[in-house]
A and B are shown apart, each in its own frame.
Chain A
């Protein structure tokens, strides 16, 4: 009986690990995102951290998910939770050469 309870507990823990959302950080440094592509799953969070000594304005006009984080200076970070599966293209409104593609999986 005790063994069965242990097995059920282990299974519950494993299941909960599987559904726990992950968190990622994408930096903005030297007018570039720290990655060009990232693959995440629904419910995950990305923190956009400005590491440049000037403002960035991270946004996405993608159909999958629209957001505009506004402008923020070095050292500040803003988070976005991605709740829809699909491709999300992220840019900086100020610096037109900054691109990041996020693939949000089911």
Chain B
């Protein structure tokens, strides 16, 4: 109960910091560093819950666990298997594969900037990164972790025992500390130094005129209308929408958010993903049905394919080919420079 109360406070504060006064399109001046664009600047501090302030020892431990395949049931899948840093922290599959390579129903979401998300997973069923981190291990279809075996392993390896004690003194090795450590590492996977970020902060040369035009079209409710859901500052409204994918038309479709919130509008609705670093994590959509960003734009221009229970935000647009190219050009400046990643040496003794 205390934790629940705390998260409510944490995410309320987080939401406040992430939702400055939103201006309407007509009030925005598309000039580098302009005051009306300030809402797009991500907070410099990454939010974290009470009792899990990211420290170097927590992040280091989380990194080891994140890349350690031995914590899965078959000893061959780590968090990194589906959230691969080499593939935009996703896995390049239309829908991801779980235990025994079984094809699962949804795409592996990138973990970039998930630290800013109030809810995790495509259907928002996890309320924190800590909660999410342990989810795939508990799922038979995903990592199918044998927790007794895992605890035995972690307690046998002195380097892990020391790492847990250093990160969470006196808290022991358990699901809670494992989840907290992995969440701490995931909070370091941040994209906030893209050309777009530089331009928003005043660097006039960071974006070309074509890219700025793409940003205008992206924001204009009468044109791209993308910003209605992919809003400032993390290019997501943290909301849930049925965007009219063809897969909602199949027999017994994935109902998405409806499983959590049984309301008509939520049938086939999924969480709006961030667009930061988006050009590194194709394919797109929760069902992986769009191979390229151009395919995504085309889907929205049509106003969705399956109109059943369509989000009211979805509507056909009149973008011409040049305008579509401008929006694609803009989407490509949302990626931060690639940072080298040093893989951890996993404890062997």
> Contact residues of A with B, CB < 8 Å?
30-32, 52-55, 57, 59, 61, 68, 70-71, 73, 91, 93-97
Contacts and interface: CB of A to CB of B under 8 A. Distances in A.
A57 B22 contact: no
Interface string B258-292: 00011111100100000000000000000000000
B171 interface: no
Nearest to A92: B239
B340 interface: no
Contact of B261 (A54, A55, A61): A61
B265 A30 contact: no
Nearest to A53: B24
B131 to A, nearest CB: 14
Given A30-B21, A54-B228, A55-B312, A94 B241 contact: yes
B238 A96 contact: yes
B264 A68 contact: yes
A67 to B, nearest CB: 10
Nearest to A95: B239
A74 B240 CA distance: 18
6 contacts: A53-B25, A54-B228, A68-B263, A68-B264, A71-B265, A73-B312
Given A32-B19, A55-B312, A71-B265, A97 B11 contact: yes
Contact of A95 (B24, B238, B264): B238
A71 B263 CA distance: 11
Contacts of B49: none
A74 B257 CA distance: 24
Contacts of B312: 55, 71, 73
A30 B263 contact: no
Contacts of B266: 93
A41 B316 CA distance: 45
A30 B238 contact: no
A91 B266 CA distance: 13
B265 A94 contact: yes
Interface in B8-33: 11-12, 15, 19, 21-22, 24-25
